[in-house]
Structure 1
């Protein structure tokens, strides 16, 4: 495993490595956990060359305080990656990624008008900015993303189509803590009590799946909100039940596409997201 911090060094290394086969890429914002490692392991099984990027991207944060408190520990991240079969770690500075103002704008239509897009204006344009830049630098054959960020995966797939990129986007399952809480870098910001109570989010989603058909979409949405908000540590920002292609709210359970329940919940000051396939 070799650490590089500049685009020039990254591309020099990759020039030789590409001769050995396909390049798998795992973009991260650091604060690595088992969820990230599962992506790395899948990439290593499918590609002889694996690149992991560690970069906290400022353009996808619409709240400066959220950016400021996002966990960062490169040394700890590198230790977590030591046991994995990784070729390169790319950890650029903000100046390296954005040497000048990037005015690249994307239009994702309906995909960005709901859920995260509605509650975090500009977030997905920032995500697309950095991921498109990273794809241009790494030129991977496959890129691996966790489905916990369900809407983000749809956005990135759309972005690759818009830019006519050949990279294959591989969506990987949510990895959960023993309590059921979806693994997230933001979990590190929770107190022990908050972390314990945050498990109510996944518990509620699992119960909701069992109630499909017994309750209407509207009734189930209201039930999920009420059940989570009963916990004094938790406050729902949104609950949406959507189809998995257009990400638009559904009115009944007869959709031909998969139906997914998506939530954003504040646990104290920490914002957590999760989702579950309901049908």
Structure 2
């Protein structure tokens, strides 16, 4: 595995290779969920590139930019063992200059749900993903379904900007207790982790109800909120794949999402139906 910091050096290295390129962009603090993305890229491509970059433009004032988990040595070992060919590890100065050109998230879908509580967050996400895709120019890029709104917006960006890359969604990976894996789970105390399990339990409850024929969104909201009590719930939403709210679940075209704050940690999870 070769570790590269410079965008130009990575572009030059990839230009000298042959075959398909799979790309997994991350912010580090890698876990099993990231490993499944890397494995999917490894299985389908000749070359695998992973980036680790804690992107400052997607953090709002007062958020955890400085305290975001950073585990450089462990991340490098995980990538090496997973068969990564190139680990891209740029500094902020490598990725951003002064008087930057930036992307702006869509006026509606970029400012609903998580975008309501974090206005401007998705503009930062789209800007850095666009930069990374332009550097790597992969055939395929891999993203987790856990961040469903982010995934949808990246797919929208690729379509709207006529970008020649396939965005590959990958299933959410959960711990044995059902908690969706996230780098921010490291912030949770033992008691908070127990409370956080209410998120996956609420989604499981909704899935079971849908399986029994309960399709009315209002009924599902009520049942889920009862399970989530007393968490600080930012949103519970039932939308189609284009993120249009649904009054009735459309099996095969629905995502049920939860965003909640546990202690000081904001957690996201969802289920695709």
Q: TM-score, normalised by structure 2?
A: 0.94
- 1:64-143 maps to which residues of 2 (within 5 A)? 64-143=62-141
- State whether residues 30 and 72 of structure 1, in contact with CA within 8 Å, keep that contact through their aligned partners in structure 2: yes
- State whether residues 114 and 248 of structure 1, in contact with CA within 8 Å, keep that contact through their aligned partners in structure 2: no
- 1:7-22 maps to which residues of 2 (within 5 A)? 7-17=7-17, 19=18, 21-22=19-20
Are 1:229 and 2:225 matched, yes or no? no
Counterpart of 1:239 in structure 2 is: 236
Aligned residue for 1:99, secondary structure, equals: coil
Give, in whole Å, the separation in 2 of the partners of 1:206 and 1:257: 16
Residue correspondences, number = 271
Cα shift readout 1:156-214 (whole Å, capped 9, x = no counterpart): 01111121111000000000000010000101111122223312211121111112343
Cα shift readout 1:119-166 (whole Å, capped 9, x = no counterpart): 210011100100000011111110000000001111001111121111
- State whether residues 244 and 257 of structure 1, in contact with CA within 8 Å, keep that contact through their aligned partners in structure 2: no
Give, in whole Å, the separation in 2 of the partners of 1:160 and 1:275: 23
Counterpart of 2:193 in structure 1 is: 195
Counterpart of 1:251 in structure 2 is: 247
Q: Which has the higher helix share?
A: 1
Give, in whole Å, the separation in 2 of the partners of 1:50 and 1:215: 41
The answer for unaligned runs of 5 or more in structure 1 is none
Once the two structures are TM-superposed, the CA of residue 257 in structure 1 deviates from its matched residue by 6.0
The ranges of structure 1 where at least 4 consecutive aligned residues each deviate by more than 3 angstroms after the TM superposition are none
Give the CA RMSD over aligned residues. 1.5
Per mean C-alpha deviation after superposition, the further-off stretch among 208-217 and 165-174 is 208-217
Are 1:276 and 2:266 matched, yes or no? no
Once the two structures are TM-superposed, the CA of residue 244 in structure 1 deviates from its matched residue by 1.2
Give, in whole Å, the separation in 2 of the partners of 1:275 and 1:229: 17
Aligned residue for 2:202, secondary structure, equals: helix
Counterpart of 2:255 in structure 1 is: 260
